[in-house]
Amino acid sequence: MNRIKCFRLILVLIFMTGLIFTKNYKGAEYRTKASYTYGRFEVNYKASYGAGQTSTFFTYHELGSQGINEWNELDIEMLGRYTDDIQFNPITPGQANHEHHQWVDFDPTAGFHTYAIEWTPDYVAWFVDGEEAHRQTGDHITALNRDQKIMMNIWPPAYSDWVGDLNVNQLPFFAYYDWVSYASYTPGSGNVGTGNNFTFQWRDDFDSWDTNRWAKATHTWNGNNSDFIPENCVFSDGKMILCLTDATNIGYTDKVKPFMEYARYEDDTVLVAFSEEITQESAEKVGNYVISGVTIEKAIQQSNRRHVKLVVAGIDESLNYNLVVLGIKDLAIPANSLLGQSIPIQMPPVWNYPLKINIGGDAFNNWLGDQEWSNSGDYGHIGGVDGHFPGQAIANTTDDIVYQSEQRNLVKYQVRLPKGNYQVTLMFAENYFSESGRRLMEINVEGDYITRNLDLYASAGIHGAYEIDVPEVSVRDGILDIHFGNNKDYALINGLKISPIETGIGNSQPFMESQFRLARNFPNPFNPATTIEYFLPEAGFVELDIYDMNGRKCTELVMDSKLPGNYNAQWNATDFASGLYFCRLLVDGLLIDTRKMILLK
């Protein structure tokens, strides 16, 4: 009898423990049953959008008796808070991170792209759409010598400084995986990869769950705010879909209405950001938007399918306005409809130039204090931890206070600015290391790298001020974007100064879009359709053609006179074979640009 009571008590405790440790969110993980040592691991996927969560592709060694001393892991992390960044990270014995944030000229959450990891005894390299983006060598790479499984997962980390804050109203999140392939490392005798040093072994197109090759995970860990459940790994329409949900509405189902995140006015347009992708029909129906006292002339859905640009007339920037939206539908089946929402329209900030920001520190004199970027803010850092060195004497400057604070391990710094040309000065000081080679970083400003391997100690010594002047930065979308990448240790910045470029008569010179432009097609790679955007600063006769890799013209998309403005054209390549194609834009017979496009079937 006592044994029976004891057994029942154990069952109760087990049940209660399960209730206690069950988490509010449900994620998913898909992993190979086999393990691999070295090779080329490749994936085509569309990451999940939204702060507070990440969708991944990685390899991982399951730990044995030595615990974290066996740690071997190679990561591609898509943090949903970023729309122009990918995190690469080899994690080595002792669970040592060597992360690098890579700027990309596309939104990983808006379309499918191909990513790869090459792992050899001598190097690890990461690839984006077939081009090498980052490489690491050294002792930490040679320590990656244990067999690893291929894995993909979606989960909400507990670390908001890394991934941002999860908005539960934005659930569910979905990441879409089209295919995964593996090639073994066979130096000197392969058929794919760098130097043909890898031999293709297999590819899974995710038409269904291959139970011989893959398993669905059912675990969690400290720092993961979700449990992995098999129901959140779904196969549909030739894709493997990983889902992050609440505990009730699990699986590939969406019952949540889209909502507006913010609305911003600039230059007779209002940019409206929605929480998820919406239908083009509802996005571009002018009657779905109301601004009292203002005429809405046109609604144009942007390429990420989450943003809509309203062309408006009659806004007075000295007044306050609300945008009312109704009838917006998401892409779920059946669609969820936003029946009505009103939010204030943010007006452009009015700055006193030169604009000075004490990054990592407080406001003083004519310097603004640092802050975290938000949808309602006008400037701030994304990611990062502030550091302080009060009273530290700084050489080569009279602005010691600025260099005594810093923001380190940040990924981006953003400032809302009117469209125009600016002189930007970035301010740095090395307050940790007293030898060169200990900190190396790269910095990208508005899509251009201004430094690829900055060593602050080598440039200015310890506690020495160092500035990088960028003489002409064109801000075209109303936000100055500065992106930081860690090459060794952590990137940092201490201060920022911004001034509009002056004309000869002393007035600030606004930037006017003056260049013809052919944008990157979206999505790319694609199957079977893609959208090609182009801009005309003046009227002209437009020819937009598609050619194959042998120079043969495949189709004429546009052959017509056009007025100035933004345009897009659709190409449906259903009748064409997989491969590399080229899109060519001519205006009045002059070649403007050519773009590569990859059709993958």
Among candidate residues 507, 537, 500, 515, the one with its CA nearest the CA of residue 421: 500
Using CA atoms in the order 316, 321, 325, 331, what is the torsion angle rounded to 10 degrees? 80
Residue from 178, 162, 206, 73 nearest 115 by CA: 178
Of 77, 276, 430, 543, the active-site residue reads: 77
* Beta carbons of 402 and 431 less than 8 angstroms apart: no
Start-end of H helices in 107-147:
139-142
Instruction: Give the single-character DSSP code of 4.
Output: H
- Point out which residues pair with 560 in neighbouring strands: 542
Q: Give the torsion through C-alpha atoms of 435, 465, 412, 323, to 10 deg.
A: 170
User: Residue 159 — φ and ψ, nearest 5°?
Assistant: -105, 90
Residue 501: half-sphere exposure toward Cβ, Cα within 13 Å: 16
Rounded CA separation 445/185 (Å): 37
Close Cβ partners of 533 (under 8 Å, ≥ 6 residues apart): 303, 518, 519, 521, 522, 566, 567, 568
Report the alpha-carbon distance of residue 82 to residue 381 in Å, rounded: 12
End-to-end CA gap in the chain: 66
Active site residue 73: yes
Here the tokens at position 476 are 């075209």
Give me the half-sphere count of Cα atoms (radius 13 Å) on the Cβ side of residue 189. Answer: 2
- List the structure tokens of 36: 């691999």
How far apart (Å, rounded) are the C-alpha atoms in residues 263 and 343? Answer: 7
CA-CA distances (angstroms) from residue 463 to 359, 394, 427, 443, 517? 16, 5, 12, 21, 44
* C-alpha dihedral (328, 330, 336, 337), degrees to nearest 10: 0
Distance CA 452, CA 437 (A): 14
The 3-state DSSP class for residue 67 equals helix
Select from 224, 223, 226, 245 the least CA-distant residue to 234: 245
Give the pair of three-digit tokens for residue 255: 């019952």
| Contact of 549 with 579, CB cutoff 8 Å | yes
Q: Residues 18, 20, 21, CA angle at the centre, nearest 5°?
A: 70
For Cα atoms 52, 57, 58, give the angle at the middle one, nearest 5 degrees.
110
In angstroms, the Cα distances linking 314 to 14, 57, 138, 310, 408 are 65, 48, 60, 13, 43
CA distances from 37 to 47, 128, 184, 325 (A): 26, 22, 8, 53
Catalytic residue among 42, 62, 70, 73, which? 73
Closest CA to 144 of 224, 90, 210: 90
Q: Determine whether 467 is an active site residue.
A: no
How many beta carbons lie within 10 A of that of residue 71, not counting itself?
19
Positions marked active-site:
73, 77
